[in-house]
Amino acid sequence: MGGTTAILGSLDADGRFEVLSELRTTPLAAPVETLRQAAGIVGDSGRGIGAIGIGVAGLVDFDGGIVLKAPNLPTWEGFAVREEASRLFGVPSVADNDCNVFAAGAVSLGEVPSSGLWIVITFGTGIGGSLVLDGAIQRGRGQAGEVGHMSIQAEGGLACPCGSSGCWERYAGREALLAYYRDSGGDPEDIEPRSIADRARNGCGSALEAFDRLGAWIGRGLANINNCFFPHGIAIGGGLTGAMDLWEQSARRRFRENAMLPVWNVVVLEAVSSTGALGAAVLASRLLMGREDAP
Ligand SMILES: [Zn+2]
């Protein structure tokens, strides 16, 4: 469940995943209406379902099934998503944040190894993070992994919708790239990272400089993560990874400067838009198996 699209899919007992529908949503739609719409599609498909899993773009209390914060989905804040989903669908349900379900999907596809400590990071409008240990999402007391909100700029840091300032996602996310591009004299009408990447590949100085700055901030954040966790690897996904050729060099340079033991093991996930829905279904299926990581 994202700010503009919700992807509805089903996972059957043989592990086959199928996308049933892509719903257009608006950030201001009532969450219960979106769930009703989804329940209608599931009903029409004639499938008997065992459990429901929902990933929400926001901070989700996994045990309580409540959305705590959702700057991109304001009507979902405070919504008891697990309780409402169980009531509407008549089956047990599980709710988690969007990066965790994406990570669970990537593990089930074999893209994130199911052994060792892996940090999954999505670079997009914001920066999402998940801690994966031996294939299982680690949540701490519920919301572990919010690496996008490491406060990384102490003095005069940019305000963040989370309420803090200087957060990593304000310096290494989509909006940051657009700001760097404007700062270096790029066309302010150009507001798509993809087109700025095309310009950079064609030698545009402003675009190259923007990706260079972005990369330095990405590298600094990755170094912090490496210093804190020294994971077996960092798996990255999201829109900005498509331009990694343009920021990797400067990210590696900054990483070498800031990491205590600069072992760069960053892999790019070949994820598709339904990976999160798959992961939500995987978490739901664990409810039925009585796995201990179920709420
Ligand atoms: Zn923040």
Predicted confidence (pLDDT) per residue in 262-294, tens digit? 999 999 998 788 999 999 999 999 988 876 455
The half-sphere exposure of 268 on its side-chain side, counting CA atoms within 13 A, is 12
> If pLDDT is split at 50, 70 and 90, which confidence band does 4 have?
confident
CATH numbers and ranges of domains, the chain: 5-102+273-289 (3.30.420.40), 114-268 (3.30.420.40)
Long-range contacts of 190-196 (CB under 8 A, 24+ apart): 193/239, 193/240, 193/243, 194/239, 194/242, 194/243
Which protein residues have a CB closer than 5 Å to ligand 1 (ion)?
A: 149, 160, 162, 164, 167
Cα 69 to middle of ligand 1, angstroms: 11
In the block, tokens 């700010």 appear at 3
Cα 147 to middle of ligand 1, angstroms: 9
Question: Residue 291 has what pLDDT?
Answer: 63
Residue 173, Cα to own-chain centre: how many angstroms? 12
Q: Amino acid identity of 280?
A: A
Contacts of residue 116, Cβ cutoff 8 Å, sequence gap at least 6: 133, 134, 231, 232, 233
Cα 80 to middle of ligand 1, angstroms: 23
Average pLDDT over residues 151-171: 94
Assess whether pLDDT exceeds 80 at residue 260: yes
Residue pLDDT, tens place only, 170-206: 999 999 999 999 999 999 888 899 999 999 999 999 9
Assess whether pLDDT exceeds 60 at residue 31: yes
Assess whether pLDDT exceeds 60 at residue 30: yes
Name the 3-class secondary structure at 20: strand
Average pLDDT, the chain: 93
- For residue 24, give the H/E element and its range: strand 17-24
Sign, Cα dihedral of 222, 223, 228, 229:
positive
Question: Residue 292 has what pLDDT?
Answer: 46
Average pLDDT over residues 143-172: 94
In the chain the first and final C-alpha atoms are separated, in Å, by 20
Assess whether pLDDT exceeds 90 at residue 111: yes
For 241, which DSSP code?
G
Cα 35 to middle of ligand 1, angstroms: 28
Average pLDDT over residues 199-218: 97
Give the residue among 23, 21, 82, 24 at the shortest CA–CA distance from 47.
21
Cα 169 to middle of ligand 1, angstroms: 7
Using an 8 Å Cβ cutoff, are 251 and 216 in contact?
yes
Q: Amino acid identity of 75?
A: T
Cα 121 to middle of ligand 1, angstroms: 15
Assess whether pLDDT exceeds 70 at residue 295: no
Phi-psi group of 32: left, alpha or beta (phi > 0 → left; psi -120 to 50 → alpha; rest → beta): alpha
Name the 3-class secondary structure at 99: helix
Average pLDDT over residues 97-126: 95
Question: Residue 265 has what pLDDT?
Answer: 96
In the block, tokens 């914001």 appear at 126
Cα 66 to middle of ligand 1, angstroms: 20
Question: Residue 293 has what pLDDT?
Answer: 56
Average pLDDT over residues 123-148: 92
Assess whether pLDDT exceeds 70 at residue 9: yes
Sign, Cα dihedral of 71, 4, 24, 287:
negative
For 175-212, the DSSP string reads HHHHHHHHHTT--TT---HHHHHHHHHTT-HHHHHHHH
Token digits for 124?
């997009």
Cα 163 to middle of ligand 1, angstroms: 6
Question: Residue 126 has what pLDDT?
Answer: 86
Token digits for 132?
């994966």
